[in-house]
Structure 1
C-alpha cells in the first residue's frame, strides 16, 4: 500500500482502484458473461442477472423495452442486443425521441419526399427505413407525442413505412428496441401513452439496475474510466484514499454511471494526483462525509445517541434559555420550535422548566 501526505503532513491511506478478479478466480459462467459483454462494466449480481437476460433474448426478433434511469446506459444495452442478434450484420440506427420537436422527430423517423415542406429539397429516407435489415433503437420513447405514437404503431403492425408527402408505402424489416426512464403503465393510465403501443413495445423487458443498487461495481467502473482516459491522455493514475472510496460508495448517484464518469473526468481534467474526500463534488461531500465536529463530539461524549441528545441539544437549550432570561416563548422562537415542544424536550432531558 502506498501512502500520501496531506497538506498538514498527515499520512493518509490511499489505494488505486482494485482490478477485477483474475479469470481463473471467477466462476465459469460469471467469466463467460463478462467476456461476452465487455461494454457493460461490473461484476455485481444485479448486473450479471441483466447480462444473462440480454444473452437469452438477443437471438429473438421480438421487440424489447429497456427500462432504466438516466445515465444507466440504455443505448449500450441496445447495442449489445444488436451485436449478439442474427441481425448483427445489418445496421443499428439509434436516436433519442427527446431531442427533437414533434414535427422534426416525425421527419427524422419517417423521412420525407421532395417538396413535402419548406426546406425539403430532395427525397430523404427516415431512420426507420435506414434500419431495414437491422435494429432500430429509440431512446426516451415515452417523450413521443400521440400522433407519432399512432404512426409508429402502424409501422409495427403492417411492417411498412410511408414518407411525409408520399402516398407510397415501403416495406421495412427491422427489430425495434425502445428505451425509457418513464413509467409507461402510469402514462397509459393518465392518457399520455397508447396502451396498444405499449403492449407492442413491451414484449421483452430488460430493466437496468441503477448504480446505487450495484455499489460493488463502483470501483471497477472507476478503474475502467481512469485506465481508458490515462491511456488516451498519457497521464498517470491518481491515487484514491479510503475516505474518498467510502464517499463514492455512499453517494446515491442520481445520474448513475454517467455521473460517475463525469466525476472521474473532472479529476483528470484538473490534473489531480491524489483523490481524497475533500476534492469530490460538493453535493457528494455534503451528503456522504460527516461534519468535522462529528469526531470531536464522539471523542468527548461517546456514541450513545440518547446521551448525546441530552448533553448537546439539552445544553444548547439551557444556554438559549439563560440568554433569554428563562423566557420560554422567546427561547422557543430562537430555537425554531413550538413552546409545547420545548416543554416536552425539557421534561425528556430532566431539565428544570424553571
Structure 2
C-alpha cells in the first residue's frame, strides 16, 4: 500500500513571514489551518481511497476534525520543528506533500533527512508547495502602478523560463525553502524526486474538514469597512494570477497519480523540470476592489464612492495591504497543461466575490449599522 505523508495544517506561511519582515508588530496566528491542505486530503481520499495517508497536525482538536471526516487518516500531533518525528515519518513514506509554511526551511531539511534513510530502493517523491511570491518585487517603489520592476512585469512560463526560475535571486520570497527543495541529498539516496507547485492567489471554497476559505479578498473588504469606503492602491493597475482551490487540488492529485506510475509517469521531476506554476487567469486588484465595492454597496454595507490611497494610507488600514494588493506576480502554467493535461474548470474569481463579501459581513455582524 502506497504511503502518503501530508504536512500543512499550520498557518499560511508566506503571508505571515512577509508580515513579520515588513510589519514587526504583527502577531502571527500559528494555528490557522491551510485551506489547500484539507482540500488536497479530501480529493486524494476520493480518488484513491486505498492510499495510506498520514497527516501532520498541530493540535488534538485539529486531529479530531480530520479523523471525524476521514477515519482512515492517521494523524500525527507535531509541528514543523518536530524534526525527529518528521524524519521518522518521511523515511517510511512513498509520497510526501507539503502545503504548510513556504518559508520554513527546517521541515524540508528534516523531510530530506528522512527520505535519505528510505531503503525501499524505488523512487520516492516530494511534492512541495511554494508560491508565486517568488516572482514579486517587494520594494513597493511604484506600488499600485502596472509597471514596477523588471522582475514583476515579466510573465514567467514554467517551461520556457525554467532556467531563470531555478536561478531566481535568493532574497525572493519563498526562495529560502525552494533552494533547499532544489538540492535533495542524492548522494545519500539517488531515488529522491521532487516537484515544486507554485500557485498564485488562491480563491474559492475548498472541501476540507477544517478551513475552507482563503483570506485575501475578505481581508480587502475588511479594510474597506475600516476605511468607510472602497479604495484602490494607486490606480490599482497591478496584476496577479489566480486559481480556484479545487482546480489547484486537481494538480496535486495529477502529480500523485503520476508518482504512482513507473518512473514518475508523464510528470517531470527534479532538475529536469520539476516546477509547476498553477495559474488559471489573472486579475487587476483595482478591478477586484471596484467589484467588491459594488457588491457591498448594493447590500448597504458601503457607500458607492471609492478613492485612491497611497502606500502609507493603506498600511494604516492593513499592515500588509500594500504587499497583498500593490504588487505584480505573473506566471503561466504551461507544464501542468502540456504534461499532465491539467484543465481548470471551476468558476472564475469574480464569481466568488459575492460569497466573500457575505463571509466578512457575517464575521463582523450587521455592517449596515457601521
What TM-score, normalized to structure 1? 0.29
Higher helix share: 1
| Structure possessing the higher radius of gyration over alpha carbons | 1
What TM-score, normalized to structure 2? 0.28
